Amino acid sequence: DLHRLIRRQRQMCIRDSLCPVLAVHYHQKYQRNEQHEYHQEKEYHLRPIPLDLSHFIISFREYEKYSRDFVALEHKLDALQTKPALTRDGVRITLLGNIEFPDEAQVVLEKGGEGIGLYRTEFLYLNRPNEPTEEEHYQAYAETVRVFRERPVVFRTVDLGADKYTQSRRWAPEPNPFLGLRSIRYCLKNLTMFKRQLRAILRASVLGQVKIMFPLITNIQELMQAKMILHDVMEDLDEESIRYNRDIEVGIMIETPSAALTASTLARDTDFFSIGTNDLTQYTLAVDRGNELVSTLYSAADPAVLRLIRMVTQDAHKAQIGLSVCGETASEPEYVMLLLGMGIRTLSLTPPMIPEIKQVIRSVTLEECHKLTRKVVGMNSERQISGYLRSAARKILPEAY
Ligand code: PEP
Ligand code: MG
């Protein structure tokens, strides 16, 4: 459990020096939903990952030892930065980074990432009383695209609502916000705001390999409507003689069971899928991803979640569209072999985890991944699957466990 906590800290981009007491502090603040203060702190990259923190009362000496071991491992793995993410039998895996701010792009590069698979653009909206202007959007996006030049940068359109609401909406909470007006639903009801962001993304698209991704799609109408609005914005830019990439790739996140179950239909109208396992797990298992009381149920290793991921992978392959996983599962060493074995070749990770995941990839063959996947597919319980995945990962990267 301690390993899990320390890894979580690193996934959250919380610096090495931070001790679990602080992690508890941040987590509790988050739980109390004090978003306003929370987002004013520098170290707030906390993704809502449920942890039962009562297990983590340890001595400082014990923490120091674990922390030292992890830092040593991190230094060792940083040497992999320029090495490719190749399996032992030569299969190339693409490792991208998940970011929230332009200055994190550099970290992705330093850690060996090959582009941005998920730019969480909603962070521009938080912690401020007014909406960002088109120019503010554009400047933030252009800065990132320039860092990556010809390498992909996937901008996810704003994913506001649920746990990430603007200052104005903070005072009008919905009774059931994760099932409410969030994400693409919110954008489709706030077209001026949505169009402003799309204009900025399109303007930045001439600077590199920019892609657009819509979050939380639940049905084909939403996708068609979002694409129609994108075309409207393109027409506006045409009229104003503003340049953009007309062939920009447009993808969607697969984060709801309905999207996973209708992936073959959605695939016809989209260039790529990115599986958001954080929300997909939450919605499949009906478990609030930020609620500690039910955190033991929250696991992507649940057979129901894995079945959906497999289905989406098969449908994406059949339709010959792009596919990646960008939820936290992709950043967990335990899941790498399974995802590869299912046929996933692109992972978008929290930047500090890129070297560790690359090390796992470089230590295995695809045949081993397939074998592991076949075994897992035959298992019935989350406990059995997660135990099996953990012991397989421990054999490959013992230093991390
Ligand atoms: C996800 O849901 O898996 C995801 C990547 O999006 P977010 O964590 O920002 O909701
Ligand atoms: Mg999500």
Instruction: Measure the CA dihedral 323/327/330/332, to 10°.
Output: -170
- Tokens representing 257? 């069971």
- Is the CB of 279 inside a 6 Å radius of any atom of ligand 1? yes
Expressed in angstroms and rounded, the spacing between residue 109 Cα and the centre of ligand 2 is 24
Angstrom distance (rounded) from CA 161 to CA 188: 13
Q: What is the pLDDT of residue 170?
A: 64
Model pLDDT, residue 58: 52
Ligand (nearest to CA of 350): 1
For ligand 1, the distance from its centroid to the CA atom of residue 327, given in whole angstroms, is 5
- Tell me if 182 sits within 8 A of 189, measured CB to CB: no
pLDDT of residue 43: 36
- Is pLDDT larger for residue 87 or for residue 56? 87
Check whether 319 has a pLDDT greater than 90.
Answer: yes
pLDDT of residue 126: 80
Q: In angstroms, what is the span from residue 17 Cα to ligand 2's centroid?
A: 28
Whether 325 and 277 have beta carbons less than 8 Å apart is answered as: yes
Asked if pLDDT for residue 32 goes beyond 50, the answer is no
Cα distance between residue 283 and residue 277, in whole Å: 10
Residues bordering ligand 2, an ion, CB closer than 5 Å: 255, 276, 279
325 neighbors 344 (Cβ within 8 angstroms): yes
Q: Measured from the CB, is residue 276 less than 6 Å from ligand 1? A: yes
- Residues listed for the chain: 401
Residue 35 pLDDT class (50, 70, 90 cuts): very low
Of the candidate ranges 156-170, 173-187, 222-236, 367-381, the one whose mean pLDDT is the lowest: 156-170
What pLDDT does residue 186 have?
Answer: 94
Element (H, E) at 251: strand 249-254
pLDDT over threshold 50, residue 349: yes
Residue 69: its pLDDT value, please?
75
pLDDT in the model for residue 13:
40
What does the pLDDT average to over 297-316? 98
User: Ligand 1 mean position to 216 CA, how many Å?
Assistant: 9
pTM of the predicted protein model:
0.86
Query: How large a percentage of the chain has pLDDT more than 90?
Result: 68
The verdict on the CB of residue 47 being under 6 Å from ligand 1 is: yes
**pLDDT classification of 309: cutoffs 50, 70, 90:** very high
Burial class (CB in 10 A: 0-12, 13-18, 19+), 107: middle
- pLDDT for 34 equals 37
Mutate which of 98, 120, 281 to test ligand 1's pocket (most atoms within 8 Å of Cβ)? 120
Which residues, 6+ apart, have CB-to-CB distance to 291 below 8 Å?
50
Q: Is 327 in the pocket of ligand 1 (CB under 6 A)?
A: yes
Q: Whole-angstrom Cα distance, residue 148 to residue 161?
A: 29
The CA 118 to ligand 1 mean position distance, Å, reads 9
- Closest Cα to atom 4, ligand 1: which residue? 276
**pLDDT at residue number 17:** 36
**Is residue 120 within 6 Å of ligand 1 at its C-beta?**
yes
Provide the CB-side half-sphere exposure for 256 (13 A, CA). Answer: 17
- CA dist., res. 199 & res. 84, Å (int): 35
Rounded Cα gap, residues 164 and 124, in angstroms: 11
Confidence of residue 60 (pLDDT cuts 50, 70, 90): low
pLDDT tens, 62-94?
A: 667 767 777 777 788 888 888 999 999 999 999
Structure tokens at 57: 């009362």
**How far is it between the farthest Cα atoms of the chain?**
65
Residue 58 tokens, joined: 């340890």
- Does residue 28 register a pLDDT over 70? no
C-alpha to C-alpha distances, 11 to 174, 315, 330, nearest whole angstrom: 29, 30, 11
Q: Quick one: pLDDT band at residue 38, thresholds 50, 70, 90?
A: very low
Separation of CA 79 from chain center: 24
Residue 50 pLDDT more than 80? no
Beta carbons within 10 angstroms of residue 32's beta carbon: 10
- More confident: 25 or 4: 4
* CA 87 to centroid of ligand 2, rounded, Å: 29
Query: Ligand 1: which of 160, 164, 278 to mutate, judged by most atoms within 8 Å of the beta carbon?
Result: 278
* Cα end-to-end distance, the chain, whole Å: 10
> What is the average pLDDT across 293-308?
95
The confidence score (pLDDT) of residue 5 equals: 57
Residue 1 pLDDT > 70: no
Q: Which atom of ligand 1 is found nearest the CA of 47? A: 8
Residue nearest to atom 8 of ligand 1 (CA): 278
Ligand at shortest distance from the CA of 274: 1
More confident residue, 122 or 13: 122
Instruction: Tell me what pLDDT residue 59 has.
Output: 57
